[in-house]
Structure 1
Amino acid sequence: MDFKELLEKSWKSFTAFLPALLVNTLVLLVVSVFTLGILAPVCTAGYIQSLLLAIRDDRKPEIGDLFSHMNLFLPLLGFFIVAGMVIFVGFLLLVLPGIIAAIALYFFCLYMLPLMTDKGMGLIEAVKESSRMAMEDPVVEHVAVVAIYIGITALGQVVPFGIVFAMPFATLFLLYAFEEKCGVETGKAQPEKRREPEAAAPPPPPP
């Protein structure tokens, strides 16, 4: 996995769709805050699929994309409630278990949302497939993807309003890595299959 190429592709898509990305990110954050996080998981799923279509089909992200996967509302809400409780309890007991739980969630479930929105997988199936992809050799590449994703996101939280810029860029990087894991070449036109000429019909038999 060429991380320099992934970052360059992410930057190219980020700058190409910058206004739309910033608007969608702001709307996602506002919706998440005003709904007390209830709509955050399902809107994040729509957000991720919107960015995936941007890098795959050169399609401009739209605000309506955030609400395009409302059918996943209940499973995603339940998953994030359980995950949040596990991490919270881990931090209550000792800080270290909470950190380990959060890192494990990132590591094994990093590709869960695009697998659900793009591949149509159910929650359990997506978690299993994301875990399988995470453990593919070389595992160190996935560790690097997780580290870069968390690093970009964390950097955006340090700088005022930085998350508005860091979140879409980190997500684009994640999705380019996801596409490479799935063996999909983004941004390249697929060669057309040459159509073989039809064989000439045999002449009719003589009378």
Structure 2
Amino acid sequence: MSTEEQINDTVKKGFNLFKEQYVALIIGTVIAIVGMILIITIPPLIFGIYYMCTQIVKGEKVEISDVFKGFNYFFTSWGLFIVGFLAITVGLVLLVIPGLLLMVLFQYAIAVAILENQGAIDSLKRSYEIGKENFSFSLVLWILLTVIEAVGSLTRIGILITIPFSALCICIATHKLTAKTEETAKTEETAKTKKTAK
């Protein structure tokens, strides 16, 4: 499947899933934004939005209260945000481009932390690997979602739609790409086993 087809498939699926549970997603996003008045709650509430999205991708029905389940990842969320922020900031300060590249490569980290129950560092590493192996797709997806978020922020109220929609698209992509890398790893392992047997 080409990059264009992958992007179209991800966005289309994201739109369809959003339509199915838009009420819970929008109200959950409102609660998260209001709750972010306190700095300490920002990372876990962002995780809460992603938690809702990962459940939707799995085919589950979500409740508005699910946004608070991000607090189950309190330490992971803060660890991920601190390490990720520092790495990206250093990259931006040094040469700008490395920082932008890290934004692209780390975009799957939150979804990975939730889907695979990984810690902060492992989630960033896993996201980096996924992004590197699927770089063209990851770059186009990041640019597209950045533009969508920018448009949403211009209308202010639009972010209530663009934030959960973008999170949904990232969770869909993460779900597909993690499955793809696992399948590739199994294929390589099988090939090595056969080669050793010979």
TM-score (normalizing by structure 1)? 0.74
Q: 1:165 aligns with which of 154, 158, 161?
A: 161
Alpha-carbon offset, residue 70 of structure 1: 2.5
Query: Hey, what's the Cα distance between the residues in 1 that align with 2:136 and 2:148?
Result: 18
Question: Deviation at 1:127?
Answer: 0.9
Q: Which residue of 1 aligns with 2:29?
A: 25
Partner of 2:176: 180
CA drift at 1:128: 0.8
8 Å CA contact retained: 2:48, 2:69:
yes
CA distance in 2 between counterparts of 1:86 and 1:173 reads 24
| Structure 2: runs of 5 or more not aligned | 181-198
Give the Cα separation in 2 of the matches to 1:82 and 1:55.
27
Instruction: Select which of 24, 30, 39 maps to 2:41.
Output: 39
Name the larger-Rg structure. 1
1:85-119: per-residue Cα shift (whole Å, max 9, x none)?
A: 6666888x69x74x752x23421211111111121
How much has 1:21 moved relative to structure 2?
1.2
Deviates more, 1:162-171 or 1:175-184: 175-184
CA apart distance, 1:7: 1.4
Contact persistence 1:108–1:134 (CA under 8 A): yes
Aligned twin of 1:9: 13
Q: Which residue of 2 aligns with 1:201?
A: none
Distance 1:145 1:65, change over 3 A: same
**Aligned CA-pair RMSD:** 2.5
The counterpart of 2:50, out of the listed 48, 51, 71, is 48
Alignment coverage as a number of residue pairs = 176
Aligned to 1:115: 112
Q: Tell me which protein shows more helix as a share of its residues.
A: 2
Percent same amino acid at aligned positions?
Answer: 24
Structure 1 pair 119/85, CA: closer, same or farther in 2 (3 Å)? Answer: closer
Could you say which residue in structure 2 is the equivalent of 1:67? 68
Give the TM-score of the pair, scaled to structure 2: 0.77
